[in-house]
Structure 1
Amino acid sequence: MDHLPQGIAVFDAGLRLTASNHRYNGLLHLPADLTRPGSALFDIALFMAERGDLGPGDAARLAIERINLLTSAPVTVTQRLGTAGQVLEFHSSRLPDGGLVISFSDVTARVRAEEQLEQMNQSLERRVEERTAALRQVNGELEAARAKADASNHDKTRFLAAASHDLLQPLNAARLYTSTLIERAKSTAFAELANSIEASLTAVEDIMSALLDISRIDSGALKPAPAPMQVQDLLRKTEVEFAPMARERSIALRIVPTKATILADKALLGRIVQNLVSNAIKYTPVGGKVLVGLRRRGNRWRLDVIDAGIGFNKDQHKLVFAEFSRLERGARMAQGLGLGLSIVQRLVSALGLTLELDSREGHGSRFSIYLPEVRNARPASKREDATPEPDFGTLSLRVLCVDNERAILEAMEGLLSHWGCDVRTALSLKQIDRERLLEGWYPDLVLMDYHLDQTSGLDAIEWLRHNLGGHLPAALVTADRSPAVRTLAEDRGIAVVTKPVKPAALRAAISGLANQSGRGTRRAE
């Protein structure tokens, strides 16, 4: 037994020691008289209890409890001895003659390893809890910051809507008055003055529109809505819009036809092309050329706007996209704030597209937008025969104008009356009802401001349709250019005219509404 790594002690049926090995004596650290054969198990247990090996309490009681435990059945007990930190594992078994054998193993290293592992686990759990708490705090702060940012963006969006309305209202009235003045001043000494006023108002409108566009993009108010579209529709519109500007500067504007179908937000892509073509014409010398067209590049189309203008070196590429930044030579050629390309870059980023610039000073520039191709798509796009512009003087259209700004109503009435329309105006639905403006007079169409004092223009149009019966052709006149408003109007079959109102856009809208009412068709016949 002396060669065994465990301590061994054998007791007879009377629980007196009959045999033991050296390891037993070494592990229990007993006095010599308790290691001799004949020593009672109770005396050994009592000694250990008095030494503190069996825990706190009455030594005799602890000794009896331990003997009862060891003799009750085969059992394994782990016990820390005194304050030395040594841990022993006791394993007892009864012998056939009623005796008892007890083995002792030193498990101090194992227990310490388990304790260290437990401490590590507890420490890890504390760290996880601390990290979790910290993460919750950070997430809470992020959520609060996000909510604050959302509220800020919401407030900014509301401010932009209000600013668009309040800032553009007086400009809208001025544009309408000026349009009337231009038409009445034809072939008079005041014609040039009227045209100069119109040009100045256009410049102010362009600046305000650019600033509002930048604010909408930065605040997230502009939400792209990509859909399959035929690029030719956009190019045709671009040609119609910029051909007069190009002719005025003796610039050859060439738009290359295409059958390409792409995926893009039609309105926002149109804004990009507008800015690029406008810039190309502005900064191309008189007699120069501007080319707009598409080239296939893999599974994408590259939309190019190429000019033979002043160009600029590579080290100036970043500068031209900066807000309010204009190159010295370009500033001498054309007026502006230097916001067009900044808007282009923001819109390209919002649409997730790629913008490419190739330019050299004195050799012109190429601005390119890479667009995803759409195959097997047939977006509705029909080029109908142009309807002759109606002669409002012969149509005598009955037009109801509703706006909460008296100056705008007066200007609108003056312009439409000059076009030969029969016009009635009102500041609100209450005025229409109170003054019985529609008794015996059924309007062919209505031009309705969006921001009325007590209701929206959309609801006001629905009220008129309900009370007048039938489908009343209507246009919503608004400074709010958000896609949401346009969608709400289109869903109700209402046209949209943006402020400041341009006479050509207003005339086109009235032409379309006249055809809806049947007046344009009947008069044309």
Structure 2
Amino acid sequence: MEERAETSNGDGALAAAFDFIPQGLALFDANLHLLRANSRYRDLLALPEIIMRAGTPLYDIALFLGRRGDLGPGDAIVLAAQRVQSLTEAPTTTTKRRGASGQTLEFQSVRQPDGGLVLSVLDVSARIEAEAALEKMNQSLERRVEERTAALTRVNIELEQARSKADLANRDKTRFLAAASHDLLQPLNAARLYTSTMIERAGGTPVGELARSIEASLSAVEEIMSALLDISRIDSGALKPTPTTFRLRDLMAKAQVEFGPLARERGVRLKILPSSKSVTTDRALAGRIVQNLVSNAIKYTRPGGRVLIGCRTRGTRIRIDVIDTGIGFNKDQHALIFAEFSRLEHGARMAQGLGLGLSIVRRLVSALGLTLELDSVEGRGSRFSLYLPRAREKPGIVDGDAQPREQVSNIAGLKVLCVDNERSILDAMEGLLTGWGCDVRSARSLRDIDRDGLLLGWLPDLVLMDYHLDQTSGLDAIEWLRHNVGGHLPAALVTADRSPQVRQIAEERAIPIVTKPVKPAALRAIISGLAGQRPRQPGSRTAESRASN
């Protein structure tokens, strides 16, 4: 009796728990007749009490639902049979369908070892809606990502097109400025040569003073054009550094030749210490930096002051110092002096200019990856220190200073051949050189030299050659003359082309460059140096006779 009571109590507890399960549950025997179902099962399927009685076949429940339309359109008998088959054909199944109230119901069936069936049903409408919302959100996000990606792609394409246009515009601007510079510097060069001739012939007369004023104005125009062209080339990326290994003594010697006359003219004592040290960097651009620093030092040093240029070894680098006793400036002005079109008040009173020299220096130092230090005391002077990488091996090109060159102080009587495609420049050059006592012959091309027989019975001591000739380049023309007149023939390239490529080729061929507009003092120094290269031994007579044949 007690055991029967305990069993009855356990079944009652199980039945109560069965009704509290949130899923709808139904148990069927091996014949698929209903054994028990909880109230949640009845509610979810909206089944009447009569259908929920124990012993009701699963097929009858499915047929009731089919006739009510829960299983979709079609023959209810067929739909009921198909539904029973879908629930029982596999050990476990999971299916979904719409309920009578439009909710989404998920059915799971499990076959028992004895052939019975456990069927559960769950309202998954909220989950389905959440999944649908998530899917919609994902699609929206994917669409937005696609739209943003497409927009970003369009922007990138537009930016690339804009960059290409900007690069093209920069290249066009650089080519335009280069062409404009050359075309403008040509007549400017002729004008400076004419004014130099006037100055020498007029002396201290009022005409001479007027000519000096004209020359000063022409010098200012030249400086402005050169600075703007340099800035344009640097900013557009047209300047491509080409590192080479070279000795600094050539750079120092060039500075002496170029700035010695200017320093004497301004009453400044220029001292350049020789150096045998070698560095590895872009030779032309490093030379441009030194040129600007030395020019500034002389320009802003009062008469009687000193400018010193020297080199020191500092670890793996060589330091070039440009030291002056000029006006100097305080630390607060350090950044200001490197800005474009920026000039200190006391400096503007001493010299003309736009304040672009040190701006170019800053750009070149950055382009070459070098270091520039500055130390200055207002009223006492400045020191600019440029650090260059010390060469690890000997230079592959022997410097021209490896063999001493004789400087000729008196250039009177020298035979000079001038070649330039501009007749006005040739006339001005002839006038200047003739005033110095030189025997000058001129031509516009190699064809003119041959046509006019300029070399018949006349062998030049040196050649001043323009770079941009009509039929060929000046460098090739020099090689042609050396081949036909004599390989010893000294020559200099006179050009308005300031590109590193031209300078590099000229340096490789050991041909000095005189930039247009020509400075008479620098030209005279170049001529003196070239005259010192003339051979003294007999043999020129053979070359002359070869030129005459």
- TM bucket, shorter chain: 0.7 to 0.9
Q: Is the 8 A contact 1:8 1:102 kept in 2?
A: yes
* Structure 1 position 384 matched with structure 2 position 402: yes
**1:72 matched residue in structure 2:** 89
One-letter identity of the residue aligned with 2:497? D
Q: Aligned partners of 1:296, 1:432: CA distance in 2, in Å? A: 50
One-letter identity of the residue aligned with 2:325? A
Q: Aligned partners of 2:318, 2:445: CA distance in 1, in Å? A: 49
Call closer, same or farther: CA 1:102–1:520 in 2, change over 3 Å. Answer: farther
CA deviations on 1:37-64 (whole Å, 9 max, x unpaired) are 2333334234445666545666555444
Call closer, same or farther: CA 1:286–1:479 in 2, change over 3 Å. Answer: closer
Call closer, same or farther: CA 1:260–1:337 in 2, change over 3 Å. Answer: same
Q: Aligned partners of 1:517, 1:242: CA distance in 2, in Å? A: 24
Q: Is the 8 A contact 2:167 2:236 kept in 1?
A: no
Q: Is the 8 A contact 2:406 2:533 kept in 1?
A: no
Call closer, same or farther: CA 1:324–1:437 in 2, change over 3 Å. Answer: same
CA deviations on 1:318-373 (whole Å, 9 max, x unpaired) are 4433433333322333333333223323333333334443334333333333x253
Residue 175 of structure 1: SS of its match in structure 2? helix
151-160 or 249-258: bigger deviation: 249-258
**2:346 matched residue in structure 1:** 329
182-191 or 23-32: bigger deviation: 182-191
**2:59 matched residue in structure 1:** 42
**1:129 matched residue in structure 2:** 146
Call closer, same or farther: CA 1:112–1:193 in 2, change over 3 Å. Answer: closer
Q: Aligned partners of 1:47, 1:521: CA distance in 2, in Å? A: 132
What is the Cα deviation at residue 273 of structure 1? 2.3
Q: Is the 8 A contact 1:476 1:496 kept in 2?
A: yes
Query: TM-score w.r.t. structure 2 length?
Result: 0.76
Residue 32 of structure 1: SS of its match in structure 2? coil
Q: Is the 8 A contact 1:401 1:426 kept in 2?
A: yes
* Structure 1 position 287 matched with structure 2 position 304: yes
Residue 50 of structure 2: SS of its match in structure 1? helix
436-445 or 266-275: bigger deviation: 436-445
380-389 or 435-444: bigger deviation: 435-444
One-letter identity of the residue aligned with 1:93? R
Residue 33 of structure 1: SS of its match in structure 2? coil
2:444 alignment partner, one of 419, 426, 449:
426
2:228 alignment partner, one of 201, 205, 211:
211
* Percent of paired sites with the same residue: 59
Residue 362 of structure 1: SS of its match in structure 2? coil
* Structure 1 position 140 matched with structure 2 position 157: yes
2:251 alignment partner, one of 234, 245, 249:
234
Q: Is the 8 A contact 1:302 1:368 kept in 2?
A: yes
Residue 264 of structure 1: SS of its match in structure 2? strand
Residue 308 of structure 2: SS of its match in structure 1? strand
**2:111 matched residue in structure 1:** 93
2:390 alignment partner, one of 350, 365, 374:
374
One-letter identity of the residue aligned with 1:387? R
Q: Aligned partners of 1:439, 1:330: CA distance in 2, in Å? A: 51
Q: Aligned partners of 2:159, 2:537: CA distance in 1, in Å? A: 59
Larger Rg: 2
One-letter identity of the residue aligned with 1:141? E
Q: Aligned partners of 1:160, 1:169: CA distance in 2, in Å? A: 14
What is the Cα deviation at residue 481 of structure 1? 1.1
Give 5+ residue unaligned stretches, structure 1.
none
Q: How does 1:57-456 map to 2 (within 5 A)?
A: 61-82=78-99, 84-93=102-111, 100-104=117-121, 111=128, 114-115=131-132, 117-181=134-198, 197-258=214-275, 260-294=277-311, 300-369=317-386, 371-374=387-390, 376-379=392-395, 380=397, 382=399, 383-389=401-407, 396=415, 399=417, 401-403=419-421, 405-415=422-432, 420-421=438-439, 423-426=441-444, 449-451=466-468
Q: Aligned partners of 2:518, 2:366: CA distance in 1, in Å? A: 29
What is the Cα deviation at residue 185 of structure 1? 6.2
Q: Aligned partners of 1:436, 1:49: CA distance in 2, in Å? A: 118
Query: TM-score w.r.t. structure 1 length?
Result: 0.79
Q: Aligned partners of 1:67, 1:177: CA distance in 2, in Å? A: 115
Q: Aligned partners of 1:495, 1:212: CA distance in 2, in Å? A: 22
Q: Is the 8 A contact 2:257 2:522 kept in 1?
A: no
Residue 385 of structure 2: SS of its match in structure 1? strand
What is the Cα deviation at residue 223 of structure 1? 2.8
Q: Is the 8 A contact 2:498 2:515 kept in 1?
A: yes
Q: Aligned partners of 1:51, 1:296: CA distance in 2, in Å? A: 103
One-letter identity of the residue aligned with 1:343? I
Call closer, same or farther: CA 1:477–1:10 in 2, change over 3 Å. Answer: same
* Structure 1 position 480 matched with structure 2 position 493: no
One-letter identity of the residue aligned with 2:423? R
Residue 348 of structure 1: SS of its match in structure 2? helix
Residue 102 of structure 1: SS of its match in structure 2? strand
Residue 402 of structure 2: SS of its match in structure 1? coil
Q: Aligned partners of 1:170, 1:110: CA distance in 2, in Å? A: 87
CA deviations on 1:224-258 (whole Å, 9 max, x unpaired) are 33344444443343344334433444444344555
Call closer, same or farther: CA 1:375–1:472 in 2, change over 3 Å. Answer: closer
Query: Would you say how many aligned residue pairs link Structure 1 and Structure 2?
Result: 518
Give 5+ residue unaligned stretches, structure 2.
1-13, 543-549
**2:547 matched residue in structure 1:** none
One-letter identity of the residue aligned with 2:106? L
Residue 234 of structure 1: SS of its match in structure 2? helix
* Structure 1 position 457 matched with structure 2 position 494: no
One-letter identity of the residue aligned with 1:498? T
